[in-house]
Amino acid sequence: MPMLSRLQWAISLAVLALLLALPFLLPSFWTGNIMGRAIVYGIVAMSLTFLASYGGFISLAQTMIAGIAGYTVAVLAPTAIPLGNHWLPYWALIPLAVAAATFAGAVVGLIAVRTREIYLLMITLALAVGFSLFAQSNIDWFNGYEGIRNILGPDIFGYPFRNLYVFYYSSLLVATALYFLVLYVVKTPFGLVLQGIRDNPRRVSAIGFNVGVHRVASFALAGFIAGWGGVLITFYNIGITPGSIGIWATVNVLVMAVIGGLGHPIGAFIGALVYTLFDTFAATIYDRDRFNTLIGLVFLVIVLVSPDGLLGLFRRLTGWRTGRSVATETMEEKT
């Protein structure tokens, strides 16, 4: 059961090499505000894709879980305004934030352990909206509507995290590690059981596995992934607000995941990149403030032409099977 074929390894390494060289080839705006941003949001989208692709669970709580990691960092960060000057250093704070997100993921999984499909969607959406409203109304910890500012991130080898290269390479490192973690995990007994639950939960019980425990564990792992994304997004935005984890942010992450394709974790990053490009250049392409119309149209076209996103489109054009898509599968079941 190899993780990747030889061709896939070759392509992965080539893409990685390109990504490593990119800061020297592109203007700094592109490195930070396009590629860097796509990578950090892509991590959160990948946590959604992981659950959808291998577990068959569509969770809208991933942005909220990223937000829990983000708020954990922001509330306790040394430089935070207005709450700041805490003694906890970043090297302890970041793992704490990721642990909090992992725990939150497990709690979401536990709450939703018996629900499927539309009900799972509704429960996770309710949790997401609930948490952002809580953050918005809580002044003492979260500073309400304004959120928490001046979260600068750690210094790495003496360089500030705000340094373009430090931010870009740190994000790329984290994203690559998490991406390969997902590819590894889905070949372990845990990951195979997860795919078994996607295909047939009844059979999973019949051969002796506890479906509930595996579901909760998969949400915890997705929380771990989203947590890293949340921490990096908070550094990217130099802070966090309730709006950045609210319903619109949730929808944006879902749009990224669907545009890219829910069939394979790489789809999340492709979707995030496409989304970021439109978000950034909508004003120059069409008109100011028409971003939502444009991305909405792009979304519609992609979903109509290829229900399994750009990855599915690519796969159909090239006849190359990179993985399996939830969208095509549900369509097959219906026919």
Q: Which is nearer to another protein, 115 or 237 (CB)?
A: 115
Element (H, E) at 71: helix 62-76
For the bound state, the minimum distance from the C-beta of residue 97 to another protein, rounded and expressed in Å, comes to 20
Could you tell me how many residues of this chain bind another protein (CB under 8 A)? 33
Question: Using CB under 8 A, which of 37, 214, 215, 264 touches another protein?
Answer: 214
Q: Tell me if 196 contacts another protein by CB under 8 A.
A: yes
In terms of Cα–Cα distance, which of 82, 165, 88, 131 is closest to 244? 131
For the bound state, the minimum distance from the C-beta of residue 177 to another protein, rounded and expressed in Å, comes to 15
Interface segment toward another protein; rule CB under 8 A; list 43-51, 111-119, 205-213, 238-246: 205-213
Question: Using CB under 8 A, which of 165, 209, 291, 314 touches another protein?
Answer: 209
For the bound state, the minimum distance from the C-beta of residue 321 to another protein, rounded and expressed in Å, comes to 10
Q: Which is nearer to another protein, 106 or 240 (CB)?
A: 106
Q: Tell me if 103 contacts another protein by CB under 8 A.
A: no
Q: Tell me if 111 contacts another protein by CB under 8 A.
A: no
Cβ neighbours of residue 14 closer than 8 Å, sequence gap 6 or more: none
Q: Which is nearer to another protein, 242 or 323 (CB)?
A: 323
Q: Which is nearer to another protein, 216 or 272 (CB)?
A: 216
Contact pattern from residue 217 through residue 236 relative to another protein, giving x for each residue in contact according to CB under 8 A and a dash for the rest:
x--x----------------
Q: What is the dihedral of CA 152, 127, 269, 51, to 10 degrees?
A: 130
Q: What is the CA radius of gyration of the chain?
A: 19
In terms of Cα–Cα distance, which of 82, 264, 301 is closest to 183? 264
In terms of Cα–Cα distance, which of 269, 272, 237 is closest to 252? 272
Site for another protein in 136-195 (CB under 8 A): 184-185, 187-190, 192-193, 195
Q: Which is nearer to another protein, 155 or 199 (CB)?
A: 199
Question: Using CB under 8 A, which of 156, 164, 211, 238 touches another protein?
Answer: 211
Interface segment toward another protein; rule CB under 8 A; list 15-23, 147-155, 166-174, 199-207: 199-207
d(CA 147, CA 82): 9
Question: Using CB under 8 A, which of 206, 284, 289, 334 touches another protein?
Answer: 206
Sign, CA dihedral 132-133-134-140, equals positive
Q: Which is nearer to another protein, 117 or 199 (CB)?
A: 199
Q: Which is nearer to another protein, 200 or 292 (CB)?
A: 200
* 262 and 249 Cβ atoms separated by less than 8 Å: no
For the bound state, the minimum distance from the C-beta of residue 324 to another protein, rounded and expressed in Å, comes to 5
In terms of Cα–Cα distance, which of 260, 265, 247 is closest to 313? 260
DSSP letters of 244-286?
GGSHHHHHHHHHHHHHH-TTSTHHHHHHHHHHHHHHHHHHHHT
For the bound state, the minimum distance from the C-beta of residue 264 to another protein, rounded and expressed in Å, comes to 12
> What six digits make up the tokens of 274?
């496409």
Q: Which is nearer to another protein, 70 or 109 (CB)?
A: 109
d(CA 102, CA 17): 30
d(CA 311, CA 262): 8
Q: Which is nearer to another protein, 142 or 179 (CB)?
A: 179
Three-state SS string across 33-64, please? Answer: HHHHHHHHHHHHHHHHHHHHHHHCCCCCCHHH
Q: Peptide bond before 265: cis, by omega within 30 degrees of 0?
A: no
Q: Which residues bind another protein (CB under 8 A)?
A: 1, 3, 106, 184-185, 187-190, 192-193, 195-196, 198-200, 202-211, 213-214, 216-217, 220, 324, 329
